[in-house]
Chain A
Amino acid sequence: DAGITQSPRHKVTETGTPVTLRCHQTENHRYMYWYRQDPGHGLRLIHYSYGVKDTDKGEVSDGYSVSRSKTEDFLLTLESATSSQTSVYFCAISESVVRSTQYFGPGTRLLVL
């Protein structure tokens, strides 16, 4: 199994508070991704990173920001959490464009009240 951890695994928070989710990898892979999973939508890309300090937006990036200050960590921040951001968040990593299979972390279940 790819060495990917996510923290926290579960979180309950209140509307309007900032929340940061962490993804940590031990594979030294270049690419990292954040997805959210909601019923009826499959998984949708929020943000991704193609190197340290190199990030870009995905399909559903509004209300989210990311940072990657070192290869192994990719942080997702909900600047002011809303109930619509209640979801399961998955981090994924891939090695290269050629070796492009994404491996996923265990997920973080976030409930915004």
Chain B
Amino acid sequence: AQKVTQAQTEISVVEKEDVTLDCVYETRDTTYYLFWYKQPPSGELVFLIRRNSFDEQNEISGRYSWNFQKSTSSFNFTITASQVVDSAVYFCALSEHQETSGSRLTFGEGTQLTVNP
């Protein structure tokens, strides 16, 4: 069975600090995808990034960066120079890769990030 663990339930930082959200996953699949979603206080789920199991390159998008390491089964997310608008719940998710099921997602429990001014 697949599993995603986000050990940090809540993180509180002061604006402009860097913050890293941890994600550890378990799967027996050789082909899989990892995702990060953001859920702001308004409640919608916003897709941030998808990474496939064959691509271990780190990715940077503005203030966001992701570190994928298969050796430690981790897919961590760093926000540089955090802003109040980054306050949200962040979910890490793992998908199976099967024709009939598409991309069934297994989510972690989420990390509540609060950025204080």
Contact = CB atoms under 8 A, between A and B. Distances in A.
Interface of A: 30-31, 33, 35, 40-45, 48, 50, 54, 56, 58, 88, 90, 92, 94, 96-97, 100-104, 106-107
12 contacts: A33-B102, A43-B45, A48-B104, A54-B100, A58-B104, A97-B98, A97-B99, A97-B103, A100-B95, A103-B47, A104-B37, A104-B44
A58 B4 CA distance: 16
Given A35-B105, A94-B102, A104-B44, 16 more contacts: A33-B102, A33-B104, A41-B109, A42-B109, A43-B45, A44-B107, A48-B102, A48-B104, A90-B45, A92-B105, A100-B95, A100-B102, A102-B105, A104-B37, A104-B47, A106-B44
A58 B106 CA distance: 10
Interface of B: 4, 33, 35, 37, 43-45, 47, 50, 91, 93, 95, 97-110
Contacts of B101: 48, 50, 56
For the residues of A in contact with B, the DSSP-based class is: strand
